[in-house]
Each structure stands twice: as structure tokens, then as C-alpha cells.
């Protein structure tokens, strides 16, 4: 195994790692030097030798994991019973500490472990403080905290809200995760509720996601796959997140992707396949940015929670769709910016749609596009280069030829048992922000099965060309108790409008739904009150 040198990689160089880091290419001809970390419940090895416990080493192991301890008083923190863990559970975990910049390839499996990156107190301001993690058929499970966490590395962005913009460059980010070619990687993680600094109510620790980064983060890859399950949020950065490739399958009990700096953070998706599903708990957006969300390419499937008033795509400062195939469902609509450069359609259903196949039929060329989510929602968003201007019809269908189970499919050749849908009117946007577009039955998860990863996510198969289905199989995933859920407050019945008055949440139906033509024009297309055709 090669040892690390002083080379620090940009995103472009990281992308070149994948072939180099395949097992057949780990000899002297490798493009870049890296430290090999082999995970095992029988002992972690670094470069083929047992891991050190010396804190002075670039990589060392310890058992001092940060977690929320059970049985503490209100002076300890803000955690609820479901956030607590016994010391004995925490002690099972091995922390693989990375303390120096460099390139680290992680392989193997550990059932109680954590990868923790901490490059020092001054790393945030040091452009050379960059850690690149290459996941190469790695399986990491942590039951008390994030499975991968970056405490400290270079921050390439600014937290100045006054100068913040949706256009950010994270090429020089201090923390990068790459998925090696043809690898299938599994991460199952937990969270850490807010712990106070002793004697104060100031935050000492609070980490919400299975993969957590306190600095800007890049994901890179080609044919590599990451299957992630979390009992809270899936992947979170405190600043910016950019996805440049690979396949990310995320199942979470809160937001699947989250960027947390208010008015600053940007989630940018340039390529790859993203499955962001927040239906493992009682609430959560598919993708949530406290700043902007910008989609320039790839395939994005985002499913807000069925049992809460959340969105598939949620952004405080604006959602921009400039390319790629985007499919999102939820019970809220976060307005997509008219500054988006790609056509998009929003279907506001009068009643929630659950486990139904929706087909958009072009009246120009008779082509069929299947849209099928895996969560109940009143709002469906679709954008694609194939969404051309012209007239369409919309149907519920009980049978179809071609396509698959969940996602967007453009290879549909026939439909059967179709029910025509109509709408009650169109608009170029919705007033007041995030209205609910129809009622839904608020139901709790019925059993712990919802907290397991689908049995079809382990063989690493890529989606079909239009990326309509996630890779399959994770039968060999280690067990973990994800039955811990956070309480949720009462659902609001109204929301304030800009003039301070309350606006009723349920206004998905705006007159009788009798218009059967869904006319797509350039830019934004919002169809209200979508339901089965009413014939009077």
C-alpha cells in the first residue's frame, strides 16, 4: 500500500482517482499516493499494519466517540430520551481519526465505527488542509453518532450572508468524498443532539447526519455507489455541498440532504444520480438548503416525507433547475425560480398521490413519460431536457409497458387502464411561499421495517439510462436500531401571508378540474387542482 505524500487534490484530480484506486491499479503505477485504511471488527489496519493509537500519527484509532450520554440533566444538553445512548454502547465503537491532509482509501467493514477527520484548529484557514476520502467497497455502521464526520478542514467558502450567492466554487473544498469505480459502499449512521459547553447553554456538539461535515464538501464519482441510511438527516454540511458524480441512495428520518448555514449555503448538483428519500421517520424534506439549491445536471429524485408538510425540494433562497432530470414529490411546494434555464412542471394535486403511476403524454409526438414516486404527496415536480413546449395529457395508469418501479421513465411504449386527469387552472408561481396542495392522512410508521434499507440495494447496478430506478440490494448490511424518532408538533392549519393574514393551507382545488390539456410553455408551468377528470 502506498504512503501519503504532499499532493493535495482538486476536484478534477480526485475524479481521476477512481481508476487508479481500483484494486488492479494499486501498484507502483498509481496516479496518486494514498493511505489504505482497511476496516474490520477484528481490528483496523493502516497500510497493512495494525492501526496505531498514537495521536501524533496521521491516522490512529481510539474509543472516545462523541455521543449523547443517557441519564444526564437539563444542564447537559437538549436531547430527548430517543437521542440518548448508554456508555456501554458507545464503548463498542472504534474511531478512525485522520489528523493530517492527504488521500485515504477506505475499504472493508466495521459494525461499530466512525471515520473522523480533524486537521487542526487552524485548518479552516489553510488551503492545504484538505482530506480526500475514497470509499472502495466500505461498510461503516455507527449507532451513536455520524458514521463519517469532518470536524476541521479548509473552508473554501465565506459565511458572509451579505455577499452570499447561489454561484459557488467548491473545487478547493477541504473535505472530499470519492466513490471508487464499480464500488458499492454502505453507511449507516446516527446523530448527536445538542450538548452544552459546561456551565453554559452554548453549543459544544450537535451533529445531525450520518455523514456530517462542518466545512464545505464535495462528492465525486462515476460508477461508484453509496447506500446510506440514517436515523436523522442523511448527509449534512454546515456550509456548501457539491455533487459531481456517483450514485447516492439516501434513506433518512429527516432531510436526506441538508446544508445548514442560513442565507449562505448552496447545494449544487452537477452530475450523478441522487435518490433523496426522507421517509424513514415522521418528517423531512428530500433536499433542504438554508441558502440555495442549484441543479445543473445528473438525475435527481427527491421525496419529501409522506406524513409531514415537507417538500421534495426545499430552499430558503431559491431553487434553480438548469439541467438534468429532476423528479420530486412532497406535501409542500417550495417555489422554483423562474430564473431556471430548463422547463419545469409542477402538478398540484387536489388529493395526495400515493403509489400511483402518472403518465405525461405528448400530443405532439405521442411519447409517454412515467412519473412514479415512493411516497405520498400532493405536489409533483418534473423537469427534463425532454420536457418540450407543447400540449400534453396526464393520466393515472394501472398498467404500462417499459419503465420500472420508481422514478422517471421515458421508454414507455404503451399504457393500460388509464384514468384521465384534469386541472382547474395554471399559474406562474404560488403566493406566499410553501402552501400545502391538498390534504393527507398523517400516519405514524407502523413498524421498524421502514428503518431498514430496501433488500434490493446491494448489487450496485446502475439505473437505466434515464436513471429511473436506484441500484439494488443490501441484504448483508449489519443490523442497527433506527426506531428512535423525534416527536413532531401539531400540523399548522394556516400560514402567514406577506400582509400578515393567515392563508388556508388547503387550496389545491381552484374550481372544477375540467381542463384536460396541460400546455407546457417555456420556463415555469404550474397546474393547480389536478384530479380525475370531472365531467358535468
Q: What is the pLDDT of residues 152-180, one digit of tens each?
A: 999 999 999 999 999 999 999 999 999 99
**Residue 247 or 24, more confident:** 247
d(CA 482, CA 173) in angstroms, rounded, equals 32
List the beta bridge partners of residue 212.
149, 236
501-535 confidence digits (pLDDT tens): 333 333 344 458 889 999 999 999 999 999 999 76
Residues 6 or more apart whose CB falls under 8 angstroms from that of 515 comprise 422, 423, 424, 425
Of the pLDDT bands very low, low, confident and very high (cuts 50, 70, 90), residue 428 is: low
| Least trusted range by pLDDT, from 75-79, 248-252, 488-492 | 488-492
Do 480 and 350 form a contact (C-beta atoms < 8 A)? Answer: no
Mean pLDDT of all residues in 225-253: 98
CA-to-CA distance for 357 and 398, rounded, in angstroms?
A: 7
Per-residue confidence (pLDDT) for residue 14, from 0 to 100: 46
Question: Confidence band (pLDDT; 50, 70, 90) for 32?
Answer: low
Nearest to 106 by CA among 51, 64, 159: 51
pTM assigned to the model:
0.85
Is pLDDT at 356 greater than 50 in this prediction? yes
| Rounded mean pLDDT, 451-462 | 40
pLDDT given for residue 492 in this prediction: 34
For residues 328, 329, 335, 341, the Cα torsion angle rounded to the nearest 10 degrees is 20
Average pLDDT over residues 178-189: 98
Least confident among 133-137, 185-189, 468-472 = 468-472
Predicted pLDDT at 427: 79
CA distance from start to end of the chain: 74
**pLDDT value at residue 442:** 32
Residue 114 sits at the vertex; the CA angle it makes with 110 and 117, to the nearest 5 degrees, is 135
According to the model, what pLDDT value does residue 512 have? 80
d(C-alpha 218, C-alpha 246), whole Å: 11
DSSP bridge partners of 133: 104, 177
Does the pLDDT of residue 84 top 60, yes or no? yes
Among all chains, which residue has been given the C-alpha cell 472502495? 136
Task: With beta carbons less than 8 A apart as the criterion, state whether 277 and 254 touch.
Answer: no
Determine how β-strand 217-221 pairs with β-strand 175-179: parallel
pLDDT of residue 396: 96
Residue 304 scores a pLDDT above 70: yes
Q: What is the DSSP letter of 345?
A: E
Distances, alpha carbon 522 to alpha carbons 40, 334, 387, in Å: 54, 20, 10
Output 24 or 313, whichever has higher pLDDT. Answer: 313
CB 441 within 8 A of CB 379: no
Residue 196 predicted with pLDDT over 90: yes
Mean pLDDT to the nearest integer, 316-330:
97
Mean pLDDT of the region 276-288: 96
Q: Kindly report, residue by residue over 461-490, the tens digit of the pLDDT.
A: 433 334 455 544 444 444 445 444 433 333
Percent of the chain with pLDDT over 70: 78
Q: What is the pLDDT of residue 354?
A: 85
- Which helix (H) or strand (E) is 20 found in, with range? helix 17-20
Q: What is the DSSP letter of 181?
A: T
Distance of alpha carbon 428 from alpha carbon 345, whole angstroms: 10
Averaged pLDDT of the chain: 84
Q: In what order do the strands lie in the sheet with 209-213?
A: 59-62, 94-98, 113-118, 148-152, 209-213, 233-237, 257-259, 287-289, 313-315
How large is the average pLDDT for residues 277-282? 96
Q: Tell me which DSSP letter residue 163 carries.
A: G
Say yes or no to pLDDT of 78 above 50.
yes
87-112 pLDDT, tens per residue? Answer: 999 999 999 999 999 999 999 999 99
Amino acid at each position: 500500500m502506498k504512503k501519503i505524500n504532499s499532493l493535495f487534490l482538486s476536484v478534477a484530480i480526485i475524479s481521476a482517482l477512481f481508476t487508479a484506486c481500483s484494486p488492479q491499479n494499486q501498484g507502483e503505477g498509481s496516479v496518486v499516493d494514498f493511505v489504505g485504511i482497511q476496516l474490520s471488527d477484528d481490528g483496523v489496519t493502516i497500510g497493512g499494519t495494525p492501526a496505531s493509537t498514537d495521536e501524533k500519527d496521521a491516522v490512529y484509532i481510539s474509543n472516545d466517540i462523541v455521543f449523547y450520554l443517557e441519564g444526564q440533566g437539563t444542564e447537559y444538553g437538549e436531547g430527548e430520551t430517543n437521542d440518548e445512548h448508554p456508555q456501554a454502547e458507545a464503548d463498542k465503537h472504534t474511531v478512525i481519526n485522520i489528523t493530517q491532509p492527504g488521500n485515504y482509501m477506505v475499504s472493508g467493514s466495521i459494525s461499530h465505527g466512525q471515520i473522523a477527520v480533524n486537521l487542526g484548529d487552524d485548518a479552516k484557514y489553510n488551503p492545504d488542509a484538505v482530506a480526500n476520502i475514497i470509499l472502495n467497497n466500505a461498510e461503516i455502521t455507527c449507532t451513536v453518532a455520524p458514521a463519517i464526520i469532518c470536524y476541521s478542514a479548509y473552508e473554501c467558502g465565506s459565511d458572509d450572508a451579505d455577499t452570499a450567492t447561489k454561484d459557488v466554487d467548491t473545487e478547493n473544498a477541504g473535505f472530499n468524498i470519492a466513490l471508487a469505480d464499480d464500488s458499492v459502499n454502505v453507511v449507516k449512521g446516527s446523530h448527536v443532539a445538542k450538548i452544552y459547553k459546561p456551565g453554559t447553554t452554548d453549543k459544544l456538539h450537535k451533529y445531525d447526519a450520518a455523514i456530517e461535515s462542518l466545512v464545505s464538501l464535495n462528492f465525486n464519482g462515476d460508477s461508484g455507489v453509496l447506500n446510506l441510511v440514517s436515523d436523522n438527516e442523511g448527509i449534512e454540511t454546515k456550509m456548501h455541498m457539491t455533487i459531481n458524480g456517483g450514485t447516492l441512495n439516501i434513506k433518512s428520518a429527516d432531510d436526506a440532504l441538508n446544508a445548514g448555514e442560513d442565507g449562505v449555503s448552496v447545494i449544487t448538483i452537477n452530475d450523478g444520480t441522487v435518490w433523496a428519500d426522507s421517509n424513514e421517520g415522521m418528517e423531512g424534506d428530500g433536499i433542504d438548503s438554508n441558502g440555495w439549491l442549484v441543479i445543473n445536471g445528473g438525475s435527481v429524485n427527491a421525496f419529501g416525507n409522506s406524513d409531514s408538510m415537507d417538500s421534495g425540494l426545499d430552499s430558503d433562497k431559491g431553487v434553480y433547475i438548469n439541467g438534468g432530470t429532476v423528479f420530486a414529490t412532497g406535501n409542500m411546494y417550495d417555489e422554483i425560480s423562474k430564473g431556471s434555464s430548463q422547463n419545469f412542471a409542477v402538478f398540484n394535486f387536489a388529493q395526495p398521490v400515493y403509489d400511483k403511476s402518472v403518465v405525461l403524454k405528448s400530443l405532439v409526438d405521442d411519447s409517454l413519460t412515467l412519473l412514479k414516486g415512493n411516497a405520498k404527496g400532493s405536489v409533483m415536480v418534473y423537469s427534463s431536457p425532454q420536457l418540450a413546449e407543447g400540449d400534453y395529457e396526464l393520466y393515472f395508469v394501472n398498467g404500462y409497458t417499459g419503465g420500472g418501479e420508481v422514478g422517471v421513465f421515458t421508454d414507455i411504449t404503451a399504457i393500460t387502464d388509464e384514468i384521465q386527469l384534469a386541472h382547474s387552472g395554471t399559474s406562474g408561481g404560488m403566493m406566499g411561499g410553501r402552501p400545502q396542495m391538498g390534504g393527507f392522512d398523517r400516519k405514524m410508521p407502523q413498524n421498524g421495517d421502514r428503518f431498514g434499507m430496501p433488500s434490493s440495494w446491494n448489487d450496485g447496478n446502475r439505473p437505466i439510462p434515464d436513471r429511473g430506478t436506484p441500484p439494488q440490494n443490501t441484504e448483508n448490511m449489519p443490523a442497527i436500531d433506527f426506531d428512535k424518532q423525534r416527536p413532531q408538533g401539531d400540523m399548522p392549519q394556516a400560514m402567514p401571508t406577506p400582509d400578515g393574514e393567515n392563508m388556508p393551507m388547503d387550496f389545491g382545488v381552484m374550481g372544477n378540474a375540467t381542463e384536460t390539456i396541460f400546455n407546457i410553455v417555456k420556463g415555469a408551468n404550474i397546474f393547480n387542482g389536478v384530479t380525475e377528470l370531472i365531467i358535468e
